[in-house]
Amino acid sequence: MTNTNDPSIRQSRHPGLDHHERMRLRAAAFRATSVYPGPVGELLSRELLLWEEFGYRLGTAGLINGVVDAIMTSLPA
């Protein structure tokens, strides 16, 4: 049986992002719906979760990091 809590297994699932980066993206994704209620917040949330899962493979994350910063520093609506 495989131990899914093994750090080497977790790292192989997300080789491009460290734990802190993944948690920051997830926190911003969940916060996006309270900062931007409605369809905009839902879209941002989904995009951030998808970036955490797949997007890091596409290369630079400059825009994504800017969106995360904006969401994390904004007050909820």
**DSSP labels, the chain:** ---TT-HHHHHHHSTTS-HHHHHHHHHHHHHHHHHSTTHHHHHHHHHHHHHHHTGGGGS--HHHHHHHHHHHHSPP-
Residues 6-40 have pLDDT tens digits of: 555 444 554 677 889 899 999 999 999 999 999 99
pLDDT value at residue 47: 93
pLDDT value at residue 31: 96
pLDDT value at residue 53: 87
